[in-house]
Amino acid sequence: MLPRRLRSLLFAPAVRPDLLRKMPRTGADAIVIDLEDATPHDAKDTGRVEMRSAVADLAGQLPILVRVNDDTTPWHDDDLDSLPTEGLAGIVVPKIETIASLDSLAARLTDRGLDMPVIGGVETALGVADARPLLAHDMVSAAYFGAEDFIADLGGVRTASNDEVAYARAQVALAGRLADVTVIDQIVADFTDDDRCRRECLQARAMGYGGKLCIHPSQVAIANEAFLPSSEEIDRARRLLEAYDDAKAQGVASVALEGQMVDEPVARQARRVLAQADD
Ligand code: COA
Ligand code: MG
């Protein structure tokens, strides 16, 4: 089962048992042992062995997911064969693109007795274009947006501005909302840039994202804080709803608070802030 919150999803390569053993102290909402991009082609077998041993060691300490290679690669089936049926919170499947491949994933998991949630990666041109039906598929319990792979596939240029991913990032958030699944935002590759990480987390939350893919423990604390309302936001939401309810009691549905108009959509946002804070 996926954890209630997916604010921080911390990755480590399957071939780095030293990093995997440090995962419990990071405070991540969930961790991902990566058999895909972070495990070299010629080390997939070793990666699977290390993954199983890490799951055995870490099970029960925190929610563990494994990212497998996608079904266009020669490693997909062996990755699925290697997954333990116990001890995992879910499977991360990168580069989801078609309904047919999600259908076939469902059959492959059933065949192997792997009854667990899937987090799908939307990180190709086709995946982004078809995000809405893909995220609505029964197999998909949550999704992430992968900016680096998306831009590589698109043939664009990745920049710190994020302008080139604005459309795709928003499209995935919209698809997540319509499918009622949590969406998780792109990585920040420069793990020394805390400001960028914080800025992106806040931006992602504003767009409807519930969390961030993390590659370094320093990003976990930033994401865990950024994806919950701050105390200032909570205070303001309370004041706002009080003013709005008073106004409604007097027969008006819009009122001024601290120089800003408050009406029903603004009140709805405030209710959501309070609900998130209580969650
Ligand atoms: N998970 C758990 N612990 C990690 C970690 C991770 N992903 N990344 C770093 N750490 C640990 C380090 O081992 C170190 O521990 P120590 O204090 O006991 O020495 C501490 O956090 C600080 O790490 P630091 O020295 O700043 O980084 P590094 O040079 O060891 O590692 C990377 C940098 C990028 C190689 C590493 O963070 C990494 O492999 N990240 C995951 C990459 C990945 O999975 N990519 C695929 C998904 S996009
Ligand atoms: Mg990738």
Residue whose CA is closest, atom 12 of ligand 1?
19
Residue whose CA is closest, atom 32 of ligand 1?
216
Residue whose CA is closest, atom 5 of ligand 1?
216
Q: How many residues are recorded in the chain? A: 279
Q: Fill in the DSSP letter of residue 15.
A: T
Q: What is the mean pLDDT of residues 147-174?
A: 98
pLDDT digits (tens, 9 = 90+) for 71-101: 999 999 999 999 999 999 999 999 999 999 9
Distance set, CA 179 to CA 136, 173, 196 (Å): 5, 10, 29
pLDDT higher than 90, residue 278: no
Question: What is the Å distance from ligand 2's center to 95 Cα?
Answer: 8
pLDDT band at 275 (very low <50, low <70, confident <90, very high): very high
Q: Work out which ligand 1 atom sits closest to the CA atom of 12.
A: 44
Q: Fill in the DSSP letter of residue 210.
A: -
**Within 10 Å of residue 262's Cβ, how many Cβ atoms?**
21
Does the domain made of 8-226 have the CATH classification 3.20.20.60?
A: yes
Residue whose CA is closest, atom 9 of ligand 1?
216
Q: Work out which ligand 1 atom sits closest to the CA atom of 10.
A: 7
The whole-number pLDDT of residue 164 equals: 98
Which amino acid belongs to residue 232?
Answer: E
Q: Fill in the DSSP letter of residue 137.
A: S
Max distance between CA atoms of the chain, in angstroms, equals 71
pLDDT digits (tens, 9 = 90+) for 187-232: 999 999 999 999 999 999 999 999 999 999 999 999 999 999 999 9
Q: How many secondary structure helices (H) and strands (E) does the chain include?
A: 12, 10
Q: In whole numbers, what is the pLDDT of the chain averaged over residues?
A: 97
Q: Report yes or no: 47 and 55 within 8 Å, Cβ to Cβ.
A: no
pLDDT band at 153 (very low <50, low <70, confident <90, very high): very high
Question: What is the Å distance from ligand 2's center to 145 Cα?
Answer: 10
Nearest one of 257, 215, 173 to 10, comparing CA atoms: 215
Pocket of ligand 1 (CB under 6 A): 10-13, 19, 22-23, 26, 34, 37-38, 187, 191, 215-217
pLDDT digits (tens, 9 = 90+) for 28-71: 999 999 999 999 999 999 999 999 999 999 999 999 999 999 99
Whole-model pTM: value is: 0.96
Among all ligands shown, which has an atom nearest to the Cα of 215?
A: 1
The whole-number pLDDT of residue 170 equals: 98
* Radius of gyration from C-alpha coordinates of the chain: 20
Q: Work out which ligand 1 atom sits closest to the CA atom of 38.
A: 46
The percentage of the chain sitting over the pLDDT mark of 70, rounded to a whole number, equals 100
pLDDT higher than 90, residue 279: no
The whole-number pLDDT of residue 84 equals: 97
Among all ligands shown, which has an atom nearest to the Cα of 151?
A: 2
Q: Work out which ligand 1 atom sits closest to the CA atom of 16.
A: 39
The whole-number pLDDT of residue 149 equals: 98
**Distance (Å, rounded) from C-alpha 225 to C-alpha 163?**
25
Q: Where are the domains of the chain?
A: 8-226, 231-278
Q: Work out which ligand 1 atom sits closest to the CA atom of 213.
A: 48
